[in-house]
Structure 1
Amino acid sequence: MESQLLAYDYPLLGAFWTVLWIFLWVLWFMLLFRIIIDIFRDDTMGGWGKAFWLIFVVFLPFLGVLVYVIARGKSMGAREIKHVQEQRADMDAYIRETAGTRSEADELSKLAQLRASGDITEAEYQVAKEKILR
């Protein structure tokens, strides 16, 4: 019976190259899906333009991705920034709506109650009042 040394049959450099190729494929698919999402997200492009880019990227992926990044890479970043800003504004609006906002009058009345009960001094009251009124 012949003994097998599996670790010797697959040297360290071979393992390194395998890991490198897997990493590059994952990176490639992330870029491909990112571009496809950007094609659908772009409001300035019409339906035929989106269809052309999508066909180009899907059927000639390496050339399509390269041309897309060269032709529309800068605006791709601007669209991503705009999308993140819109998400942030929506989240801030949701938080404000859910938490409820208090008016200055409510804050001042609570502050006056704290001063009347002796929890804060007159100087602390004046500092907090200035902060509220700013």
Structure 2
Amino acid sequence: AKIGYIDKNGKNTIDFKYDLAAHYYSDGLAFAKRGSHWGYIDKIGREIIAFKFDGATHFSEELAGVTRGTFKGYINNKGDEILPFKFAEVGPFKAGFARVALKTSHGLDEGYIDKNGEPYFRG
């Protein structure tokens, strides 16, 4: 079964062609999966960010965590890489900070970063 979008009257607004899809957030974008890749669409179904990621999350404070291979990083609403794909885990930004984890020889090293990727403190 494929996923699409309908309006409150049940009218089809975006074709049912996605394998998974999220609801729209305040930025007007939804992440969706087509085949084995994730991308972002707007409310009329236009592909805003190419379906090239192995995982995706919603935007928070203008950045979204996405996965490429086994690493995660952050992109902006144009799909530009803002913070490098080096993290094992990424969380949403809140008040300018996001919880992240780096894989080390001892497991995961968790902490917080700001929007420039600077560590805030380790958790």
Alignment TM-score > 0.5, same fold:
no
When Rg is computed on C-alpha atoms for both structures, the one with the higher figure is 1
Q: More strand per residue: 1 or 2?
A: 2
Select the structure with the greater relative contact order (CA < 8 A; seq sep ≥ 6): 1
Q: When you count helix as a share of all residues, which structure comes out higher?
A: 1
